[in-house]
Structure 1
Amino acid sequence: MQAYRNLPELIAQSSEHFANIDDVNLDDLMERIGDSRVVLLGEASHGTAEFYEMRARITKELIEKKGFTIIAAEADWPDAAHIHHYIHGREQDALLQNAPFSRFPTWMWANQSMLEFTYWLRAYNAKIDNAKAESSQQKIGFYGLDLYSLYSSIEAVLDYLQQVDPKAAEVARDRYGCLMPWADDPVLYGRAVAAQQHNSCETEVLKNLQDLLKKRLEYSVANEEQFFDAKQNAKLIVNAERYYRTLYYTEGSSAEYNSWNQRDQHMFAALQAVLEFRGSESKAVVWAHNSHIGDARATQMSKRGELNIGQLARQEYGDKAYNIGFGTDHGTVAAASEWGGPMEIKPVQPSHVDSYERIFHEVATDNFLLPLRYPLHEDIRKELLPERLERAIGVIYRPETELQSHYFYASLPAQFDEYIWFDKTRAVAALPKQRRDKTFDTFPFGL
């Protein structure tokens, strides 16, 4: 390989260039992924079309060429269940003009790029049905990993128990009633408990989960998938109740009581539960923000005692986990200016001069895949290893305070196994949705 004069030129020599998403050849990427059981696909914002479309393209290849059957997303479990039902032919409304995906930020999953991908997933599963496959395990499942659906999960558990055990539903309804005064805003529940204005509901929600698990054999014999769904919702309620109390712990609390850790540990446990449910041969694709899927140990998060799904996946699966990050320099993004605010199409500022993004912007090509675990040039990891700024745009984007609000320090080659770059990107096209009045959640920068 020829000598390079500077880092952008080295990146150009060390990357696989492509003109557009539809035509990119992913054969070498599939070879690098190898026999990984978990592939984590990131995004540098929650509102960029290219990130969704490239993740969909990679996921299709993982399904068709590698036998992946699970898509696990940074989405609420009950909402994701509607996509799961749709792609299995049990739901007729694809991205759902009714309740699912109606809480802020609606555009994160209710967008045109996601809609087109769900059409493909439904058609793929239909082909398996038409082929009369021996096992439904070959069909693709779509699952939510997040824990913000406290009250819709309560509804789901109660609906399930009402079908299988009305007496148990009555008991569970009474226990969950402990949380109902804060149905419009569970953050206020955490505040009330922290201020000792109300006893915690921890015991009540744990009892409901324990009672459900005690009747596992009785309930699951009729429909194992429905029981699994109810069990995951019940676990989510337990973890969400704890999460909202954790929000009000003091800053000096240990990492165990860090609300970010509570959330990512829940998401990783949900991923493991799905893998176990789908069988020992199952393989999963994870769709989440870079801040969740890049190894936290390679970022300043670790200095705050924070972990994430990417770190936990590497610790659990080793080389069988493959982490892929995404980035962009400029363009447009769908985001809000404040929590619960309307979606806006905002211009993305050109990247900071001291950032990884600025280096990638100076590469003499617009789009590329940069292998980092298996580099095409032996010097690339060493040259990129020193910490630099990296940008993260969540559902909130504030360009006026971008350096303080949206940049953090990281070591890219330690954070990701691969990095995918789009120099200029466009905002996702949001689908029209009916918004609920309730906004149940809050988290830094909406990541």
Structure 2
Amino acid sequence: MPEDEDRRQVRALARPLRNARDLDPLLERIGDARIVAVGEASHGTHEYYAWRAALTRRLIEERGFAVVAVEGDWPDCYRVNRSVRLLPGADEDPRDALDAFARWPTWMWANDDVVDFCRWLRRYNADRSDGDRVGFYGLDVYSLWDSMHELIGWLEQNEPGHVARARRALACFEPYGEDGAEYAFAHRFSPTSCEDAAVEVLRALCEDRGRAEAEEDPEARFAAEQNAAVVVDAERYYRAMVQGSAESWNVRDVHMVDVLDRLLEHTGGKVVVWEHNTHIGDARATDMAGGGMVNVGQLLRERHGTDDVVLVGFGGHRGGVIAGAEWGAQMARMSVPPVRAGSLEALLHDAVGEDSLVVVPGGERPGWLDRRLDHRAIGVVYRPERERWGNYVPTVLGERYDAFLHLEHTSPLQPLHLERPDEHVPLASEGV
């Protein structure tokens, strides 16, 4: 198709984005869907976080969404959840809970944009009964040791009969100094692992669930079970990491969708998911599928159907970002150069030249939505000098997302603190 026709079709479909009311076409597309997964093209861009929060506020206020589930660790995010839901003993200001995040990269969640949203959510919840308050939960798999310590603390107070099992599991992990890499490499050269000990704790909790729920706080027990599930899947994740395959990615994304399914069952409400585009966009519309990788967006569509799941992606033309120059590095403000020619973002920039929303139409659609185009992806590690040959994912937009927000100029988000020397740096994963 001639280039001018591509641009004409893009202009016909794109809608200007100036304020939250301009999201109306997206709200119409979402309709009665129970799951809306909202991405970001980097983990360090203010505008992606701000627009995602604006959409989420509308979904909560106008469509009754009850859960915000994010690409963060369960224990850290559960402290935020307690704050935004005004639970006894929780932080009165969600900023304090977010500032306590101690796993690299902390800037993903410990930043001003998330603070603003969580303060809004606490105010929103303050006018609602406890059962109707919106929660904030973490989906990720990195918190093996933190989750184990949280679980033991809960068991000591609520189910002391299971404490001995949990301590046996912790003792199995202790020789590795709470270091996933040490555990992973040790397993590589030894047939033994801590898998059985971890699974035993989770099984015991699940077997006792029916008896216990009538006697205790179901929410607190649910949190304990999620910490136990993290221990089981994190153990699998770290063992898979040293194999150098797609398996570790798949363990992580399957875990996140499993947590989402449990949240849907536990809350009975609709869920907004916040993760990177690489997790949110359907992997089958990229080169990930060829590498044997699945992701959250694909699994959600497969488990819940396309009518009940809406996937929303982001992209930007140029600007700035917070990222690290290498895994575990101190955060830095970096310039993001204009997108390269022939990319998805270049097409939107050339055709529209302003912030815009594209909602993928049902039925027959313009050819550019079904063409494979390069789509920029910036992770927690970013090197702008690699833009000429890296940092892009071949993408069929009309299959990867149900809607796409294109932003012309972006800026770095504002972290709450610099990375601290005693932070935990997880074993580097494949992707973002």
Q: Report whether the alignment pairs 1:57 with 2:46.
A: no
- Out of 86, 104, 113, the residue aligned to residue 89 of structure 1 is 86
Distance 1:399 1:96, change over 3 A: same
- Out of 409, 420, 423, the residue aligned to residue 394 of structure 2 is 409
CA deviation profile, 1:283-306 (whole Å, cap 9, x unmatched): 111100001011101100000111
3-state SS of 1:325 partner: strand
Alignment of 1:43-82 (within 5 A): 43-82=40-79
CA deviation profile, 1:193-231 (whole Å, cap 9, x unmatched): 1112x6211111111111222221343321111110000
Corresponding position of 2:119? 119
In the alignment, the residues of structure 2 paired with residue 390 and residue 275 of structure 1 have an alpha-carbon distance, to the nearest angstrom, of: 31
3-state SS of 1:341 partner: coil
Q: Report whether the alignment pairs 1:30 with 2:27.
A: yes
CA contact (8 A) 2:348 2:406 kept: yes
Alignment of 1:278-297 (within 5 A): 278-279=267-268, 282-297=269-284
In the alignment, the residues of structure 1 paired with residue 365 and residue 65 of structure 2 have an alpha-carbon distance, to the nearest angstrom, of: 33
Say what the alpha-carbon RMSD is for the aligned residues. Answer: 2.0
Corresponding position of 2:189? 195
Corresponding position of 1:423? 408
Corresponding position of 2:8? 9
1:403: how far off? Answer: 4.3
CA contact (8 A) 1:357 1:390 kept: yes
Q: Which runs of 5+ in 2 are unaligned?
A: none
1:408: how far off? Answer: 1.9
Corresponding position of 1:133? none
3-state SS of 1:102 partner: coil
CA contact (8 A) 2:40 2:275 kept: yes
CA contact (8 A) 1:11 1:363 kept: yes
CA contact (8 A) 1:329 1:423 kept: yes
In the alignment, the residues of structure 2 paired with residue 186 and residue 230 of structure 1 have an alpha-carbon distance, to the nearest angstrom, of: 21
Corresponding position of 1:308? 295
- Out of 210, 214, 225, the residue aligned to residue 231 of structure 1 is 225
Q: Which runs of 5+ in 1 are unaligned?
A: 130-135
In the alignment, the residues of structure 1 paired with residue 427 and residue 260 of structure 2 have an alpha-carbon distance, to the nearest angstrom, of: 21
Q: Report whether the alignment pairs 1:274 with 2:257.
A: no
In the alignment, the residues of structure 2 paired with residue 181 and residue 239 of structure 1 have an alpha-carbon distance, to the nearest angstrom, of: 19
AA aligned to 1:95 is R
1:23: how far off? Answer: 4.8
CA contact (8 A) 1:137 1:278 kept: no
In the alignment, the residues of structure 2 paired with residue 224 and residue 83 of structure 1 have an alpha-carbon distance, to the nearest angstrom, of: 18
1:433: how far off? Answer: 5.9
In the alignment, the residues of structure 2 paired with residue 338 and residue 158 of structure 1 have an alpha-carbon distance, to the nearest angstrom, of: 34
CA deviation profile, 1:341-388 (whole Å, cap 9, x unmatched): 11100000111112111111212331111011448xx652x2231111
CA deviation profile, 1:263-319 (whole Å, cap 9, x unmatched): 00000000000000012xx11111000010111011000001111110011112221
**Greater displacement, 137-146 / 218-227:** 218-227
Alignment of 1:152-167 (within 5 A): 152-167=146-161
Q: Report whether the alignment pairs 1:170 with 2:158.
A: no
1:99: how far off? Answer: 7.2
CA contact (8 A) 1:32 1:374 kept: no
| Number of corresponding residues | 425
**Greater displacement, 91-100 / 291-300:** 91-100
Distance 1:366 1:312, change over 3 A: same
Q: Scaled by the length of structure 1, what TM-score is found?
A: 0.91
3-state SS of 1:236 partner: helix
What fraction of aligned residue pairs are identical, expressed as a percent?
A: 37
CA contact (8 A) 1:69 1:137 kept: no
Distance 1:373 1:189, change over 3 A: farther
Distance 1:246 1:114, change over 3 A: same
In the alignment, the residues of structure 1 paired with residue 125 and residue 343 of structure 2 have an alpha-carbon distance, to the nearest angstrom, of: 42
Q: Report whether the alignment pairs 1:210 with 2:197.
A: no
AA aligned to 1:120 is W
In the alignment, the residues of structure 2 paired with residue 51 and residue 111 of structure 1 have an alpha-carbon distance, to the nearest angstrom, of: 13
Corresponding position of 2:319? 331
3-state SS of 1:30 partner: helix
Distance 1:250 1:64, change over 3 A: closer
Corresponding position of 2:356? 368
CA contact (8 A) 2:98 2:110 kept: no
3-state SS of 1:362 partner: helix
Q: Scaled by the length of structure 2, what TM-score is found?
A: 0.94
**Greater displacement, 151-160 / 210-219:** 210-219
1:178: how far off? Answer: 0.6
3-state SS of 1:334 partner: strand
AA aligned to 2:303 is E
In the alignment, the residues of structure 1 paired with residue 237 and residue 313 of structure 2 have an alpha-carbon distance, to the nearest angstrom, of: 27
1:156: how far off? Answer: 0.8
1:184: how far off? Answer: 3.8
